[in-house]
Structure 1
Amino acid sequence: MNTTPQPRRPLVDTSAAAEILGVSPRTVRRLAAERRIPAVHVGRAVRFEVDDLAAFVDANKIPATTAF
């Protein structure tokens, strides 16, 4: 059994998450309320894992098509 603690992934607040996603903090709060992005509740504070934000972006990519 592995008893070595795993390092925690960094958490960011709503403003930082909005900057990462390129949207407003209000949009981040709405996405979290709709459970479209995972959120971590620490008391009244809401935090987001950077890896989850990257996964959200990857899941919502629209592939480019050639116009030729």
Structure 2
Amino acid sequence: MPKKPPSSVFVPEPLIDSEQAAAIIGIHPKTLQKMARAGQIKAVHVGKLWRFRASNIEEWINGRLAS
């Protein structure tokens, strides 16, 4: 029985670094990294580096605007 080709292909959202993410929020990159360590903002720790999804940054901003 032949395999069907996938109907949709997963395309991951690109990750941005601490400097780029911090610039979007308007804070220092070290402050953003501290927030990521504390679990206040979603991030991925890759080796010694923190990476962020722009959508998670936007989500965090929207959460702050709502409160």
TM-score, normalized by the shorter chain, greater than 0.5 = yes
Q: Count matched residues.
A: 62
Give aligned-pair identity as a percent.
29
Quick one: which of 15, 21, 36 aligns to 2:19? Answer: 15
Write the distance in 2 (CA, Å) between the matches of 1:44 and 1:26. Answer: 13
Quick one: which of 48, 59, 64 aligns to 1:60? Answer: 64
| Bigger Rg, which one | 2
Aligned match of 2:41: 37
Q: What is the TM-score of this pair, normalised by structure 2?
A: 0.79
SS at match of 1:60: helix
Q: What is the TM-score of this pair, normalised by structure 1?
A: 0.78
Q: Letter of the aligned partner of 1:39 in structure 2?
A: A
Write the distance in 1 (CA, Å) between the matches of 2:50 and 2:9. Answer: 24
CA offset digits 1:5-28 (Å, max 9, x no partner): 311112111111110111111210
Unmatched 5+ stretches in structure 2 = none
Measured on the aligned residues, the alpha-carbon RMSD in Å equals 1.8
Greater share of helix: 2
